Chain A
Amino acid sequence: MAEHQLPERLSPLEPEYHPGSHGNFEHGIDVILSETRPGSILQLAAWPGEEKGLIEAIRNVTGLALPDGAGGGVSNGTRAVFGFAPGKFTVVDEGEGLASAFAGVITPAIGTLTDLSHGRTAIRIAGPKAEWVMAKFFAIDFALPAFPLGAGRSTNHHDIFAQIQRSGADQFDIYVFRSFARSFWKALCHASEEVGYEVQ
């Protein structure tokens, strides 16, 4: 497929992305920040009453079985899916071309497919102080019982809208609008200085 010959995408974080240790790291590194750069980020939306069909379609294409309930989600390292709004799901794949895999599957009867692979930037924060740093930005409860593994949340930090998936006990994947990504990244690094952070 043509996508395979495509050049590498440019990251919006480029000039502000400085691998290495920063902040108060002499006292240990408590969070690790990275841009995960997935090849595909899709939004799937089901018409009211068609959610089950869509969830089924997602399982068929990605092999990921969504748990029931609002904001439920699951990830397997290369692929992730979570609900972020009524009848709406974000599906992520390391590789490109997931949209074409869904193309025939999401019929007009079920809902719509919107490719946001370029429009959203994926940032990962991991480490013992991940919850602490996230709590500086978002007014939601990051404690594991309130925000289970795999689950997704839609929230915002003032002007910056974010979808967040818990991809590990102390790991979160944050999806922000590309145009805001650099500002958010700078703020995230700034907020992580207190606990010492490493950019990978």
Chain B
Amino acid sequence: MSPRRTETGGRIDRLRTIRFTFDGAPYTGHGGDTLASALLANGVTLFGRSFKYHRPRGLLAAGVEEPNALVTVLRGEVREPNIAATMVEIYDGLVAVSQNRTPSLAWDIGAINQLGGKILSAGFYYKTFMGPVIGPLKGTRFWMFCEHFIRRAAGLGRAGTAPDPSRYERMNAFCDVLVVGSGPAGLMAAKAAADQGARVILADLEAHFGGSANWSGETIDGVPAADWAQRSVGQLEGNDNVRLLPRTTVWGYYDGNTLAALERVTDHKEAAAKGEPRQRYWAIRAGTVVLATGSFERPLVFPGNDRPGVMLAHAAERYAVEYGVLPGQRIALFTNNDSAYRSAVALKKAGAAIVAIIDVRSDVSNEMRKLASEAEAELLAGHAVVATEGGKALTGLKVQRFDAMNGALSGDDRSIHADGLLMSGGWSPTIHLASQAGAKAEWDSARQAFLPPQPTQHWIGAGAFTGSFSTAEAIAEGRAAGLQAAGAAASSAPLPVVEAAPGDPDPAPVFEIKAKGKSFVDFQHDVTAEDVRLAHREGFVSVEHLKRYTTLGMATDQGKNSNVPGLAIMAEALGKPIPEVGTTRFRPPYTAVSIGSLAAERFGDLKPERLTPMHDWHMANGATMYSAGLWYRPMIYGLAGETVEQAYVREARATRESAGIVDVSTLGKIAVQGPDAAEFLDRVYTNMFSTLAIGKARYGLMLREDGLAFDDGTTWRLGEQEFLMTTTTANAGKVMQHLEYFLDVIWPELKVTVTSVTDEWAGAAIGGPNARAILASCVTGTAVDNAALPFMGIVHGRVAGIPVMICRLSFSGEMAFEVYSGAGYSTRVWEALIEAGKPFGLVTYGLEALGTMRIEKGHVTGAEIDGRTTARDLHLDWMLSKKKPFIGSAMMDREGLIASDRLELVGLIALDNRPLNGGGHIVEELDEANPHDSLGHITACCYSPALGKYIALALVEGGKARHGTRAFVSDPLRNRFGPIEIVSNHFYDPDGSRMHG
């Protein structure tokens, strides 16, 4: 039996022994233990070190608000830092280590910071480290030098770099009623709503439903509250319209009654089952939310209140009643309200000696005096704790007379020997979700607490959340909320009967005992009462300034323990009531949420892969793939030992000499259909399409409304009211939305449907002097000669018995054809074309060769249509129809878009026969040391097999006017400088004789 474990009691499974380690030392605990309760049972008092002063710290709380006992949980190499020991359910083989200490928790060199105490006061960073004005450490250097050490001293746990092997998952849920919190109020609400047939989700962040019923020691309907809770849960489990989510923290209340919750599915298990996620992220759309989230007990602010062994009263009660662990043998309590008396009695029952109850109030009610004597505790009314003693564990405390009216201390101090000091500074309703939902909390001077605001979304509060701290009220409010949420009338049926200790819910308005020594407000961040007063002296008096200047409330507990005491101290300094200092609006998340869980199913799978039908063929035939947006496209089909350049040069040369074939299935394809299709195209393209003959294609250009170039491609007229539009791969989605917008919003009178058929049709572009011969040898059902298939003509036929649509158009500048077929057949067509091409030495080519040939031809792509260029800049003004308005026509001639200093498309030839780089700049005079006066930049470049030179396309100031002149490429990033000649962008076969054949 471990030193602090009680003989009996608690809902732990004493028959199950669980082995785990903390900081390397082996410990045992029982089923149902948290890491905190198990270590406490083993006599551990020191759990962590504080952020700034590295002070030794013990457990403050028993739940999610714990600020001190943060640990890192290890699963092999994978680290999970900053987890509150109070929230870690132990399992066999659990490995946990403490944080923010070197070399050990017991001996931490960081503790020397305590010596600097007064210098390291709030805001000290801002007042120093500016460093010298001159010399080697001027500017930012001195600060960065100091910062190097500050950064290493700061921080809590250490994150790992080993990839997390776990799976995370998202679940989209819908319900009529979401109940948050499973205490008596939540259970009643869930049951009432479920009985009405509503779809109910009940979520609680703890492993066991029941909330305070699990440790209050009260009885409900004649049975222990814990049993009543378990019985209620059992009744809920039966209903198939109820989903129970234990270990599930509802952390975010978003617009539209959308709530975000995190379910810890396997964190408490040794291992996950096959396919089981570590955590599940619930996105819940709820009709109505019942907020039954309870309340937090507040610490009191007094010297030495952070000593290990000083704990919240209800936390000690939980450890004793729920886990069968005594936080101390000789326990004193320090309180400003009645609830601590119940805790005293509970701990007495559990076997501790209650040496004293120190109450700041002089007038303590008779009921409380009765409870005190029941606990056999000396009652020191009108007293306060002014000091605590001990090092890594509490040994005693000092008390003095205290006047709650004016906060004055009097008389001699008196020492009390105790190894546990439990404090209660009153209770704060857990209103975070209500605040997130978008409203400001309201201060209640009786409760000395912020109460939930009027709902701004569909939620109803119940129980301690509303400031109703008694279980009887919780049960009544819970049922009423459940019924209302389910749309049912209120019920007058009798409610479960509660037997509970008496108590006044209103505390005395005492938050701080002013005496000598450090009194902590924010435990983790080491913010003291003096820091708050310093902030006041320096004018940081609004609550947000207070937080930001002192970091109060910015720790991992997000102010759950410190907000109200901090505000109270500032209010006193200002001589204003607390609400005038204000409260900060709570923001998501309620408690910290793992980033993996938010990535959910996309962890390890950020974006889908988009594949053409021929993808597997490309992979099997030596293609190196290139990711273009979500698509994968062949870059080259390299041969053994070939460089990328050698490969694309071979592919391009072979195409120009005989024939090549490329997969063009990724081009955006949009079916434009309907009586007004032609009219619509006339409006969206800069050039005419209504005049296009059936069975012919035309190259088209689109502008944006602002008159700049948007996208280009060929559009085919397949019938009177039937067009097939092609777009660039990159812009397919944008163009689709553009068209849909105009049809839906601007021109609803047009009878046109647009449908993405990108995936319906797969395409192969086959080009080169022998392309036609290859087609002729394998296409049936149509001729492909000049008469049957002139430039920009379209025919229908078959390849390998499969229907194909062939359009004669050219991107490569060769005699070329695009062969389209249904995607399910296209690989067969592709293979048939390659087979037919064998006698002609047909090559497959990839994006690099495609790019090379288009650069030789001077065609533009996304690199030139970059959202900043006009049709004129790209020498496409010949496509701007004067006969009709089109999208962008009214805006395209504004002064800035026709200015003479705009960048224009030109060609470049490297005069030093060395490769050029995309993104290199163009200058008139070369200055490698201090490059300046850029004229423009290279958009695309390659080695041109056709010209035998390194060439490029570029956007250059002056443009055409510079044809034939010399300049320099200036590429300091890649140290590439050299002479170039500026030429026309049409390097190769400018009059197009090859493609017209």
**A12 to B611, Cβ gap below 8 A?**
yes
> In the bound complex, how far is the Cα of B803 from the Cα of A175, in angstroms?
24
B278 to A: closest C-beta gap in Å: 12
B159 lies within 8 A of chain A by Cβ: no
Which of A112, A160, A177 counts the most chain B CB atoms within 10 A?
A112
Q: A183: which of B610, B613, B761, B828 is its contact (CB, 8 Å)?
A: B610
Known contacts A108-B721, A114-B673; A160 and B758 CB within 8 A of each other = no
> In the bound complex, how far is the Cα of B332 from the Cα of A198, in angstroms?
62
**A179 to B610, Cβ gap below 8 A?**
yes
A164 lies within 8 A of chain B by Cβ: no
**B274 to A178, Cβ gap below 8 A?**
no
B461 lies within 8 A of chain A by Cβ: no
* Complex interface: chain A residues within 8 A of B605 (CB): 187, 190
Known contacts A136-B170, A136-B601; A9 and B607 CB within 8 A of each other = no
Q: B276: which of A139, A190, A194 is its contact (CB, 8 Å)?
A: A194
> How many residues of chain A have a CB within 8 Å of chain B?
54
> In the bound complex, how far is the Cα of B825 from the Cα of A7, in angstroms?
8
> In the bound complex, how far is the Cα of B947 from the Cα of A86, in angstroms?
55
B785 lies within 8 A of chain A by Cβ: no
Interface size for chain B: under 10, 10 to 19, 20 to 34, or 35 or more residues?
35 or more
Question: Which of B244-252, B306-314, B749-757 contacts the other chain?
Answer: B749-757
**A114 to B755, Cβ gap below 8 A?**
yes
> In the bound complex, how far is the Cα of B601 from the Cα of A187, in angstroms?
8
A128 to B: closest C-beta gap in Å: 12
Which of B285, B675, B751, B827 counts the most chain A CB atoms within 10 A?
B751
Number of A-B contacts (CB under 8 A): 142
* Complex interface: chain B residues within 8 A of A179 (CB): 610-612, 631, 758-759
**A23 to B169, Cβ gap below 8 A?**
no
B147 lies within 8 A of chain A by Cβ: no
**B169 to A9, Cβ gap below 8 A?**
no
Q: A10: which of B169, B273, B760, B824 is its contact (CB, 8 Å)?
A: B824
**B601 to A7, Cβ gap below 8 A?**
no
A159 lies within 8 A of chain B by Cβ: yes
B823 lies within 8 A of chain A by Cβ: yes
Q: A6: which of B609, B673, B721, B825 is its contact (CB, 8 Å)?
A: B825
Known contacts A140-B172, A146-B174, A194-B277; A184 and B608 CB within 8 A of each other = yes
Which of B171, B756, B760 counts the most chain A CB atoms within 10 A?
B760
**B757 to A116, Cβ gap below 8 A?**
yes
A64 lies within 8 A of chain B by Cβ: no
> In the bound complex, how far is the Cα of B601 from the Cα of A82, in angstroms?
29
**B276 to A183, Cβ gap below 8 A?**
no
Known contacts A114-B671, A179-B612, A182-B609; A135 and B274 CB within 8 A of each other = no
* Complex interface: chain B residues within 8 A of A45 (CB): 753, 755
> In the bound complex, how far is the Cα of B613 from the Cα of A10, in angstroms?
8
B588 lies within 8 A of chain A by Cβ: no
A149 to B: closest C-beta gap in Å: 18
List CB contacts (< 8 Å) of A44-76 with chain B.
45, 47-48
C-beta contact mask, A1-27 vs B, less than 8 Å → 1, else 0?
Answer: 010011101111011000000011001
Which of A7, A138, A196 counts the most chain B CB atoms within 10 A?
A7
A117 lies within 8 A of chain B by Cβ: yes
> In the bound complex, how far is the Cα of B174 from the Cα of A141, in angstroms?
6
> In the bound complex, how far is the Cα of B199 from the Cα of A143, in angstroms?
11
* Complex interface: chain B residues within 8 A of A23 (CB): 274-275
**B673 to A112, Cβ gap below 8 A?**
yes
* Complex interface: chain A residues within 8 A of B174 (CB): 141, 143, 146
Q: Kindly report which residue of chain B lies nearest to residue A50, judged by CB atoms.
A: B751
List CB contacts (< 8 Å) of A119-144 with chain B.
119-120, 135-141, 143
B713 lies within 8 A of chain A by Cβ: no
**A119 to B673, Cβ gap below 8 A?**
no
Known contacts A9-B824, A141-B174; A24 and B275 CB within 8 A of each other = yes
* Complex interface: chain B residues within 8 A of A15 (CB): 616
C-beta contact mask, B155-177 vs A, less than 8 Å → 1, else 0?
Answer: 00000000000000111111000
* Complex interface: chain B residues within 8 A of A6 (CB): 801-802, 825
* Complex interface: chain B residues within 8 A of A112 (CB): 673-674, 753
B200 to A: closest C-beta gap in Å: 13
**B607 to A24, Cβ gap below 8 A?**
no
* Complex interface: chain B residues within 8 A of A154 (CB): none
B620 to A: closest C-beta gap in Å: 11
B662 to A: closest C-beta gap in Å: 17
* Complex interface: chain B residues within 8 A of A194 (CB): 169, 273-277
Known contacts A114-B753, A118-B824, A183-B608; A193 and B275 CB within 8 A of each other = yes
A102 lies within 8 A of chain B by Cβ: no
**A178 to B608, Cβ gap below 8 A?**
no
B834 to A: closest C-beta gap in Å: 16
Q: B759: which of A114, A119, A138 is its contact (CB, 8 Å)?
A: A119
> In the bound complex, how far is the Cα of B607 from the Cα of A196, in angstroms?
25
Which of B273, B275, B612 counts the most chain A CB atoms within 10 A?
B275
Q: B171: which of A43, A118, A136, A193 is its contact (CB, 8 Å)?
A: A136
* Complex interface: chain A residues within 8 A of B608 (CB): 158-160, 180, 183-184, 187
**B173 to A119, Cβ gap below 8 A?**
no
> In the bound complex, how far is the Cα of B756 from the Cα of A48, in angstroms?
20
Q: Kindly report which residue of chain A lies nearest to residue B173, judged by CB atoms.
A: A135
B283 lies within 8 A of chain A by Cβ: yes
Q: Kindly report which residue of chain B lies nearest to residue A44, judged by CB atoms.
A: B753
> In the bound complex, how far is the Cα of B173 from the Cα of A141, in angstroms?
7
> In the bound complex, how far is the Cα of B273 from the Cα of A138, in angstroms?
24
A68 to B: closest C-beta gap in Å: 22
**B824 to A5, Cβ gap below 8 A?**
no
> In the bound complex, how far is the Cα of B958 from the Cα of A24, in angstroms?
67
B31 lies within 8 A of chain A by Cβ: no
**B616 to A108, Cβ gap below 8 A?**
no
Taking A10-B824, A135-B173, A190-B601 as given, write out 9 further A-B residue pairs in contact, using a Cβ cutoff of 8 Å, ordered by the A residue number.
Answer: A7-B801, A7-B828, A12-B823, A24-B274, A108-B721, A118-B825, A120-B759, A182-B609, A194-B275
Q: List 30 A-B contacts (CB under 8 A).
A: A6-B801, A7-B800, A10-B824, A10-B828, A23-B275, A27-B273, A108-B674, A112-B753, A114-B755, A116-B755, A117-B760, A118-B760, A118-B761, A118-B762, A119-B757, A135-B172, A139-B172, A141-B285, A177-B758, A178-B613, A178-B760, A179-B611, A179-B612, A179-B631, A182-B609, A183-B608, A183-B610, A190-B601, A193-B274, A194-B277
Q: Which 8 A-B residue pairs are closest in the complex by CB-CB distance?
A: A193-B275, A9-B824, A119-B760, A183-B608, A194-B275, A118-B822, A119-B759, A118-B823
